């Protein structure tokens, strides 16, 4: 994967099979698109070029920004550090409440021109991260699974112990690419959008099982996992469904942090109300009652649910305001008051 002056031709990407009839079957995500020559996949970023499955957006970064790690959100992975956030256009879901739809849904538009975004070679991306003082690199904002071949190249280009790679993802990926991903990244925040298989299929265009498998298998592989649920009124906010989500996460590991975030009207669902503070607080209490050690409220700056509490004694061990850490009360990775170890990585 290379490019002169920041440009590169379309690149053939892995995770596909060529059928006897000349059509290509994509094996990256559960959509499993089958396309004739000249046709694109549902995500809009893949095209059948005479029997080769070409990616139109690999390494063509449309966003590069230095962010606090807490913005991902990751609260238990090197808290207080800076991460270089990067994104390319595209997503393999079609969420009507997407808060990044101008980026994620762009390839589905008829006038999308991926060549407008310069190709960033992996070595140059690593150089930019070092120069800007980033501790890590986060693939975020859109759906980074569509950049998997590029992410694997970035992982190969860096030394093992520098610039850990992070994914903020919907988890819609098949088994083999998921296994390849697990070997390349250090942490991920996975969106669990609903616990209804029907709504995943009919509203979002995905499958619930793929996201559940991604959470479980990445955790089992040693990737640090945090989960986020955007709590949307009349979509996924009943006590029954929130309880199901909390029980699933707790069944994998009660130390997995769960971020329950407030929805604001956006894109095709501008008719819905904002998530109430009461609804978020109820969801947080349900998560804690299910045995989860750390349940956070998001998109409500200043809420007590932004703080990290010791799972042993309940003391405040990280005092934060939105993305800004005001104080960390840990010592040797544990609570200063009782010594209980804090789940995660990078606590002093």
pLDDT in tens, 209-227: 999 999 999 999 999 999 9
Domain boundaries, the chain: 11-55, 61-306
Q: What integer best gives the mean pLDDT of the chain?
A: 95
Rounded Cα distance, 338 and 238, in Å:
36
C-beta of residue 333 within 8 angstroms of C-beta of residue 341: yes
Residue 13 pLDDT: 84
In 57-158 the beta strands, taken as DSSP E runs, fall at: 61-68, 82-88, 136-139
Condensed to tens digits (0 to 9), the pLDDT of residues 184-210 reads 999 999 999 999 999 999 999 999 999
Mean pLDDT along residues 99-112: 92
Residue range 64-68: average pLDDT?
Answer: 98
pLDDT tens digits for 109-167?
Answer: 878 999 999 999 999 999 999 999 999 999 999 999 999 999 999 999 999 889 999 99
Q: What is the pLDDT of residue 172?
A: 99
The whole-model pTM stands at 0.96
Q: Give the pLDDT of residue 10.
A: 60
Helices 208-220/239-252 angle, 10° precision: 30
The residues, any chain, with a CB within 8 Å of residue 26's CB and separated by 6 or more, are 15, 16, 32, 33, 34, 35, 41, 46, 53
Alpha carbon distance 191, 24 (integer Å): 29
Distance (Å, rounded) from C-alpha 323 to C-alpha 315? 20
Q: Which CATH number fits domain 61-306: 3.20.20.70, 3.30.530.20, 3.40.1160.10, 3.40.50.1220?
A: 3.20.20.70
Cβ-count burial 217-247 (b if 16+ within 10 Å, e if not): bbbeeebbbbbbbbbbeebbbeeebbbbbbe
- How confident is the model at residue 5, as a pLDDT? 35
Closest C-alpha to 163, from 220, 78, 228, 80:
78
DSSP-assigned letter for residue 342: P
Predicted local confidence at residue 162, as pLDDT:
96
Supply 346's token pair. 């990078």
β-pair type (187-191, 224-231):
parallel
Q: What is the pLDDT of residue 102?
A: 94
Q: Residue 245 in contact with residue 195, Cβ under 8 Å?
A: yes
Cα gap 251→241, rounded to integer Å:
15
What does the pLDDT average to over 232-256? 99
Report the pLDDT averaged over residues 30-46.
97
Chain-centroid distance, C-alpha 275 = 21
For residue 47, give Cα distances in angstroms to 53, 91, 181, 219.
6, 15, 22, 32
- The CA distance from 233 to 240, in Å, is 14
């Amino acid at each position: 994967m290379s490019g002169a002056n920041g440009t590169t031709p379309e690149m053939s990407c892995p995770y596909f099979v060529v059928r006897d009839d000349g059509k290509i079957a994509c094996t990256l995500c559960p959509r499993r698109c089958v396309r004739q020559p000249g046709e694109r996949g549902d995500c809009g970023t893949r095209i059948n070029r005479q029997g080769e499955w070409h990616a139109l957006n690999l390494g063509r970064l449309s966003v590069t920004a230095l962010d606090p790690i807490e913005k991902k959100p990751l609260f238990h992975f090197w808290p207080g550090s800076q991460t270089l956030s990067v994104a390319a256009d595209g997503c393999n879901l079609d969420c009507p409440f997407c808060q990044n739809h101008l980026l994620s849904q762009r390839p589905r538009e008829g006038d999308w021109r991926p060549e407008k975004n310069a190709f960033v070679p992996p070595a140059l991306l690593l150089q930019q991260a070092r120069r800007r003082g980033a501790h890590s690199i986060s693939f975020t904002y859109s759906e980074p699974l569509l950049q998997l071949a590029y992410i694997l190249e970035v992982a190969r280009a860096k030394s093992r112990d520098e610039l850990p790679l992070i994914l903020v993802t919907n988890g819609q990926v098949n088994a083999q690419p998921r296994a390849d991903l697990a070997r390349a990244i250090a942490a991920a925040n996975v969106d669990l959008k609903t616990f209804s298989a029907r709504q995943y299929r009919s509203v979002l265009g995905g499958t619930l099982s793929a996201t559940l498998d991604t959470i479980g298998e990445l955790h089992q592989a040693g990737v640090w996992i945090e989960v986020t649920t955007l709590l949307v009124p009349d979509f996924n906010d009943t006590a029954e469904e929130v309880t199901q989500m909390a029980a699933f996460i707790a069944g994998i590991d009660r130390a997995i942090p769960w971020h329950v975030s407030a929805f604001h009207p956006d894109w095709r669902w501008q008719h819905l109300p904002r998530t109430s503070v009461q609804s978020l607080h109820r969801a947080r209490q349900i998560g804690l009652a299910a045995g989860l050690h750390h349940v956070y409220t998001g998109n409500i700056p200043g809420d007590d649910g932004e703080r990290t509490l010791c799972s042993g004694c309940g003391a405040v061990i990280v005092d934060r305001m939105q993305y800004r850490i005001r104080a960390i009360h840990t010592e040797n990775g544990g609570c200063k008051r009782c010594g209980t170890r804090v789940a995660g990585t990078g606590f002093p």
